[in-house]
């Protein structure tokens, strides 16, 4: 009988996990509300709005069922460890991609910078500008991998300047902060122009070697720190803050604008719930994913959910500017490779043997 009981519990855990995955896939979030709406949806008191949604019995029941399914799935995984071999292989494969992280960061930041320059906005489509050359130049230099760390410093300064002068709108593109910091920490990697110049500098007989030029003092300074380990922590905190901002500020604190998106795309035909439930569910889901990333809790799984949320959003909202999400797509993919990094709940969970040592699943 004990064998039968274990089998039933094991299957229940798997069904719970499958149910949670299906809910996540079937519920595209509203993402950047400001990118797909024109004008204001009118003021709606956020506290009264959220209270009215959560106090309705049918909505409370939906949240309870969703939370219960997530708890059962998490408990079933910890207790039974289904698909353990598959997850171990996936984790080791992702870790083998670490040498490509610099290239992933450069592409994730360089491509949308070039696009933003040609499209005529500063980092975020909500900040229009005629100043195009700077972003195009920074983007192409990152793509080539030329003077990479110095370009990252320049880009970081430019973003902070835009953030200070157009506050708080540039927070919609807050992931650029993590992207520039990641490039600064990891450098150019390979393939890159910096790599080629480095090889020329250290090879006897080359012009650069004879002239003794081309040193990288910024790289030498960064090398004093454990940059690869720090990258994961920096990235998950920045991406997590971005998700919390999108969920709390853009949706829960501005429900009128978010309701516009639900009406514009007739999202209630996709998932038949009230528009208010759509907005509250999307906001709370994004905020929850953001908090998991900030605290470094099941980091790789949280990053995978974040990636799926943005993917389903782009399929669900046909005129959402894809280019503006490239950086977040790329950095979320990089987070799958880095894992949590230091100072994460995952480290505590792994010590208690609730997760694998890297805390990634």
Per-residue pLDDT of 238-248, as tens digits, reads: 999 999 999 99
- pLDDT for residue 14 is more than 90: no
**Longest Cα pair distance anywhere in the chain, in angstroms?**
80
Give bridge partners of residue 121 from the DSSP assignment. Answer: 128
- pLDDT for residue 234 is more than 90: yes
User: In the prediction, which pLDDT does 233 show?
Assistant: 93
| Domain locations in the chain as residue ranges | 2-77+227-351, 100-222
Over the Cα atoms of the chain, what is R_g?
A: 23
User: In the prediction, which pLDDT does 3 show?
Assistant: 47
Spatial CA neighbour of 149 closest among 221, 203, 208, 197? 221
Q: Answer for the pair 174, 245: CB distance below 8 angstroms, yes or no.
A: yes
Most confident of 9-18, 21-30, 79-88, 339-348: 339-348
Give tens-digit pLDDT for 309-318.
777 766 666 6
User: In the prediction, which pLDDT does 151 show?
Assistant: 96
- The better pLDDT of the pair 62, 358 is held by 62
In sequence order, what are the residues at sequence separation of 6 or more whose Cβ sits closer than 8 angstroms to the Cβ of residue 49?
252, 255, 276, 279, 280
d(CA 142, CA 140): 5
Share of the chain above pLDDT 90, in %: 38
- pLDDT for residue 17 is more than 60: no
pTM of the model: 0.83
What is the secondary structure of 226-289 as a DSSP string?
Answer: -HHHHHHHHHHHHHHHHHHIIIIIIIIS-HHHHHHHHHHTTGGGTS-S-HHHHHHHHHHHHHHH
In sequence order, what are the residues at sequence separation of 6 or more whose Cβ sits closer than 8 angstroms to the Cβ of residue 346?
296, 297, 298, 299, 339, 340, 355, 358, 359, 360
What is the secondary structure of 318-334 as a DSSP string?
Answer: TTS-GGGGHHHHHHHHH
- The better pLDDT of the pair 226, 5 is held by 226
Share of the chain above pLDDT 70, in %: 82
- pLDDT for residue 213 is more than 80: no
Structure-token pair, residue 8: 């039933």
Mean pLDDT of 209-227: 75
């Amino acid at each position: 009988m004990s064998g039968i009981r274990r089998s039933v519990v094991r299957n229940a855990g798997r069904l719970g996990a499958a149910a949670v995955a299906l809910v996540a896939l079937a519920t595209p979030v509203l993402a950047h509300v400001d990118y797909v709406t024109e004008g204001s949806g009118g003021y709606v008191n956020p506290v009264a709005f959220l209270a009215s949604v959560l106090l309705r019995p049918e909505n409370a029941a939906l949240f309870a069922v969703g939370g219960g399914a997530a708890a059962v799935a998490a408990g079933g995984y910890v207790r039974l460890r289904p698909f353990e071999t598959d997850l171990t292989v996936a984790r080791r494969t992702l870790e083998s991609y670490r040498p490509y992280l610099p290239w992933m960061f450069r592409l994730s930041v360089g491509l949308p910078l070039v696009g933003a320059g040609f499209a005529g906005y500063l980092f975020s489509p909500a900040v229009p500008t005629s100043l195009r050359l700077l972003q195009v130049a920074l983007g192409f230099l990152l793509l080539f991998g030329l003077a990479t760390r110095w370009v990252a410093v320049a880009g970081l300064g430019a973003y902070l300047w835009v953030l200070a002068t157009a506050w708080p709108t540039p927070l919609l593109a807050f992931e650029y902060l993590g992207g520039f910091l990641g490039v600064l920490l990891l450098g150019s990697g390979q393939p890159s122009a910096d790599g080629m110049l480095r090889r020329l500098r250290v090879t006897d007989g080359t012009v650069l070697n004879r002239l003794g030029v081309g040193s990288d003092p910024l790289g030498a300074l960064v090398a004093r720190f454990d940059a690869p380990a720090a990258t994961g922590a920096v990235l998950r905190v920045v991406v997590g803050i971005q998700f919390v901002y999108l969920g709390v500020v853009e949706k829960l604190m501005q429900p009128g604008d978010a309701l516009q998106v639900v009406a514009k795309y007739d999202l209630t035909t996709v998932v038949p719930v009230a528009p208010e439930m759509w907005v509250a569910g999307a906001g709370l889901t994004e905020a929850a994913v953001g908090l998991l990333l900030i605290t470094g809790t099941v980091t790789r799984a949280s990053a995978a959910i974040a990636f799926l949320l943005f993917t389903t959003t782009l399929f669900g909202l046909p005129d959402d500017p894809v280019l503006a999400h490239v950086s977040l797509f790329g950095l979320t993919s990089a987070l799958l490779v880095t894992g949590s990094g230091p100072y994460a709940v995952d480290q505590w969970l792994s010590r208690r043997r609730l997760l694998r040592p890297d805390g990634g699943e």
